[in-house]
């Protein structure tokens, strides 16, 4: 075993001498996650037992509970951290610098500062809303922070899907049994959706033309270089969406997305 592989054993096992607090089970779950986080490869149950110096039955029960919560996952060679951990890590990042920069920049851009602007991430085939800048329009669009919408009927979702690697996009599209159709303008076929995503990729931004909500349009731009697919958008009443205003909003969205992308690359 290399020094790098041995390090988790020492670091994690040493923590067992600390006071586990009122919930030993939660404490053990944290130790399991810590051990998996420090490993760069799948870890078997036997290896985890040795690393943690805990009873095999206890570690097995913790793994099953964490698996049910999507915090860990199995592979052919052992256990790995689950994608939910990435979501939680992303939430921590979003709650600090990224959200602060999003709000600061959105409020400073000439066209966007008066509009409803949203920041979202892509999870499977859903958009998770993580921040909002209200602007000063008399009509407000309600997308609660932490809420979700189908990606295929939102500008944010289509912007993020349009920049996915082809294999990733194809895998996600293959999961679709039936497209949501909240309005008459919603896509009815995966082929039509794919054409829309390819068009979004070519022009550098996505457009929701009343596909999610009647009478409402959305313009969205993906954040370049984000670890998790991320995008920014603005939402407005359709009758306000003149070609001139759309062009101004798209320019500002690109500025906002580029600034957030630069922050992601340096954080």
pLDDT number for residue 165: 93
Helix (H) or strand (E) holding 239: none
- What number is the average pLDDT over the span 87-106? 76
CB distance 261 to 98 below 8 Å: no
- Neighbouring residues of 136: CB distance < 8 A, sequence distance ≥ 6: 114
Q: Is the pTM of this model over 0.85?
A: no
pLDDT number for residue 128: 85
pLDDT number for residue 2: 32
- Neighbouring residues of 148: CB distance < 8 A, sequence distance ≥ 6: 123, 126, 127, 128, 129
pLDDT number for residue 21: 62
pLDDT number for residue 123: 84
pLDDT number for residue 138: 65
Does 205 have pLDDT greater than 70? yes
Residue bearing the bigger pLDDT, 87 or 192: 192
pLDDT number for residue 17: 41
pLDDT number for residue 83: 81
Does 7 have pLDDT greater than 60? no
- What number is the average pLDDT over the span 219-224? 97
Q: What is the pLDDT of residues 132-189, one digit of tens each?
A: 888 777 666 667 776 778 999 999 999 999 999 999 999 999 888 889 888 899 999 9
What φ, ψ does residue 75 adopt, rounded to 5°?
-130, 180
Q: What is the pLDDT of residues 224-263, one digit of tens each?
A: 988 889 999 999 898 888 999 999 999 999 999 999 999 8
Question: Can you list the alpha helix ranges (DSSP code H) found in the chain?
Answer: 3-14, 24-38, 45-52, 56-68, 83-93, 99-106, 155-162, 166-173, 190-203, 243-266
CB distance 89 to 76 below 8 Å: no
List, in sequence order, every residue forming a beta bridge with 102; answer none if it has no partner: none
Domains and CATH numbers, the chain: 3-81 (1.10.10.10), 85-266 (3.30.450.40)
pLDDT number for residue 224: 95
In terms of Cα–Cα distance, which of 158, 252, 146, 143 is closest to 206? 158
DSSP string spanning 102-136? HHHHHTTSTTGGGSEEEEEEEETTEEEEEEEE--S
Does 9 have pLDDT greater than 50? no
CB distance 91 to 241 below 8 Å: no
Per-residue pLDDT band at 87 (split at 50, 70, 90): confident
> What tokens were used for 94?
């979003």
Q: What is the pLDDT of residues 14-63, one digit of tens each?
A: 443 445 567 788 888 988 988 887 776 899 999 999 988 889 999 999 99
In terms of Cα–Cα distance, which of 202, 197, 113, 203 is closest to 155? 197
In terms of Cα–Cα distance, which of 15, 135, 93, 120 is closest to 267? 93
Angle, in degrees to the nearest 10, between helices 190-203 and 155-162: 80
Does residue 263 sit in helix, strand or coil?
helix
- What number is the average pLDDT over the span 189-218? 93
């Amino acid at each position: 075993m290399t020094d790098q592989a041995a390090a988790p054993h020492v670091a994690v096992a040493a923590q067992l001498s600390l006071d586990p607090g009122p919930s030993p089970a939660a404490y053990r779950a944290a130790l399991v996650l810590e051990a998996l986080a420090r490993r760069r490869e799948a870890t078997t149950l036997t290896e985890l037992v040795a690393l943690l110096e805990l009873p095999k039955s206890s570690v097995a029960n913790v793994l099953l509970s964490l698996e049910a919560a999507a915090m860990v996952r199995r592979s052919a060679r052992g256990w790995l951290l689950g994608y939910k951990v990435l979501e939680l890590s992303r939430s921590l990042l979003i709650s600090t610098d990224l959200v602060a920069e999003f709000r600061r920049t959105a409020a400073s851009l000439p066209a966007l500062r008066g509009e409803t602007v949203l920041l979202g991430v892509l999870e499977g085939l859903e958009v998770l809303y993580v921040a909002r800048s209200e602007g000063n329009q008399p009509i407000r669009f309600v997308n609660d922070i932490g809420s979700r919408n189908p990606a295929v009927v939102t500008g944010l979702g289509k912007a993020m899907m349009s920049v996915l690697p082809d294999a990733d996009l194809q895998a996600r599209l293959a999961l679709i049994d039936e497209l949501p159709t909240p309005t008459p303008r919603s896509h009815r076929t995966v082929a039509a959706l794919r054409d829309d995503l390819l068009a979004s990729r070519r022009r550098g931004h996505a457009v929701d033309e009343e596909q999610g909500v009647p009478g409402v349009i959305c313009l969205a731009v993906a954040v370049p270089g984000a670890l998790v697919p991320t995008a920014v958008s603005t939402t407005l009443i359709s009758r306000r969406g003149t070609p001139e205003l759309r062009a101004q909003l798209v320019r500002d969205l690109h500025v906002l997305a580029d600034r957030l992308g630069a922050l992601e690359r340096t954080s």
